[in-house]
Structure 1
Amino acid sequence: MTQDVLWSPLADPAVLTLMPSPDFLSSEPFEGAAGLGPHHEGPQGYHAVYRGDIASQLLLLPGSKASPSLAALIPLDSQTLGRVEALLRFWRGYHKRPVPPDTRMTVQQRRRLRLMLRAADGRTNRASYRDIATAFFGTERVASNPWKTSSLRDTVIGLARGGAAMIGGGYLELLRHRRRS
């Protein structure tokens, strides 16, 4: 059995906040209740996961469960574009249309994250940086250069430190889009 991880909309901008739709906006009913997982009551309302073509976490504000039509509440803040993107992915999945990928992380960033966590796990289990490099890159490649000056050594040290930072709370930044300076 799997356990849903429920995030606060402050921590994860992809959490969709839904509220009763004013009558003058829409009278179309939201018929997605069948795809909702169990409701978990919280201080803000009810948290649920919609399982359609993609899984989306929803926060139903008070009064939403009894309302036939719903509206999304999107604050106008630094995370607005991420929230709009999450709403678009949910809406397209709900209507059985092609769902665009989540752009919070690139394929390269996902690959690096996996390596960082593996390196941090290796260090936690007392593996040396050289042992980790051998597991990642192979014995021949690690042995091809002097270890003390090897770029692979620097790479593995950076991966292990990055993984430790992620475990220490840096993972929360993965939930947000990067802001351009």
Structure 2
Amino acid sequence: MTEIHRSWQPSAAYLYVLHLDAPSTAWEFLRRNPRYREQWQGSDEDSDWGLSFAEDPSLDARQARPIWCVGQRPVVRLIPHTDPAAQCFDLWAIPGRKSLTHEGQHLWLQGTSGRELVRLTLSPDMRNGEPFAYAMPAGAEHKQYRFTLETALGLLQGTRANTVTALNRPPRSATIHMRALQALDGTLAGATQRDIAVVLFGDERVAEQWNPDSELRAQVRYLVQRGRELMEGGYRDLLN
């Protein structure tokens, strides 16, 4: 049993999943994949997981900063600007946890605005403390960049209140993903579906409603199946 699955029963430990964006949720399922974990530990297997480079599976989405090479939203680039009135780039003024990662072709800046993980690329000649501008490809459909630009503004200019997702409650899909993740951990830890039902829905409800053809059992079966599907490659659908 890995460290991920030892403490799968306290539901409060999974509440952070409600506030993850899609790429971070995808990471939570991928990092539980036994083959991915074996490869990280030194297996000779060479598989395409959709990452620009491997990330440590012991790190959950609050700590890890995986860079996906599939299903990314349009990316805004930060470039130097000659107008002295432009905002100056200040890495240390960005609130919360942030990271700079070079994956061979691009330097990526990652941080959090609201509950969204923001990913930007930096021009090679960007300098801390100097004016900058946001750049997107000429001819690009501006509507596709609206969300990316809003989250970038939220990260770098403190306008998170203007971002759409910062105002919304977690969607229903987030609750499903949270429960599927917990059900998956229970399964990988050797728990039965009834054990999982008790943890997710309580002893009393299970005692009253659990039987081979019950809706409750079907719901647990779905969560277990959904968790496995996402772990075994379905996480890529979240990236799209």
SS of 2:72's equivalent in the other structure is: coil
Aligned amino acid, residue 47 of structure 1: W
Matched, 1:107 2:166: no
For 2:120 and 2:134, locate their aligned partners in 1 and report how far apart those are by CA, in whole Å: 12
Q: How much does 1:144 deviate? A: 1.9
After superposition, residues 58-69 of structure 1 pair within 5 angstroms as 58-65=120-127, 68-69=131-132
Which SS does the other structure have where 2:110 is aligned? strand
Unaligned runs of 5+ in 1: 177-181
**CA shift for structure 1 position 9:** 6.0
| Segment drifting more, 147-156 vs 87-96 | 87-96
* Equivalent pair of 1:19/1:62 in contact (CA under 8 Å): no
What is the correspondence of 1:16-27 to structure 2 with a 5 Å cutoff?
16-20=75-79
Given residue 107 of structure 2, which amino acid in structure 1 is its aligned partner?
Y
Find out whether 1:163 has 2:227 as its counterpart.
yes
* Worse-matched range after superposition: 111-120 or 66-75: 66-75
- Give the superposition deviation at 1:69: 2.2
Q: TM-score w.r.t. structure 1 length?
A: 0.73
Deviates more, 1:111-120 or 1:94-103: 94-103
Equivalent residues in 2 for 1:1-181 (5 A)? Answer: 3-8=63-68, 10-13=70-73, 16-20=75-79, 28-35=86-93, 37-50=98-111, 56-65=118-127, 68-73=131-136, 76=140, 81=144, 83-97=145-159, 98-102=161-165, 106-145=170-209, 147-176=211-240
Q: Secondary structure at the match of 2:177?
A: helix
Could you say what secondary structure the match of 2:194 adopts? helix
CA distances 1:125-178 after superposition (whole Å, capped 9, x unpaired): 1111111112111222222245111111110010001011111232233344xx
Structure 2 unaligned blocks of 5 or more: 1-58
Give, in angstroms, the shift of residue 22 of structure 1. Answer: 7.0
Q: Which has the higher contact order (CA 8 A, sep 6+)?
A: 2
Q: Is the CA contact 2:210–2:216 (under 8 Å) kept in the aligned structure 1?
A: no
Identity across the alignment (%)? 20
How many pairs are equivalent? 172
Q: Pick the structure with more helix per residue.
A: 2
1:119/1:8 Cα in 2 relative to 1: closer, same or farther (>3 Å)? closer
After superposition, the C-alpha distances for 1:43-96 in whole angstroms (9 at most, x for unaligned) are 22211224677752221143344874232325847xx63x42121122144333
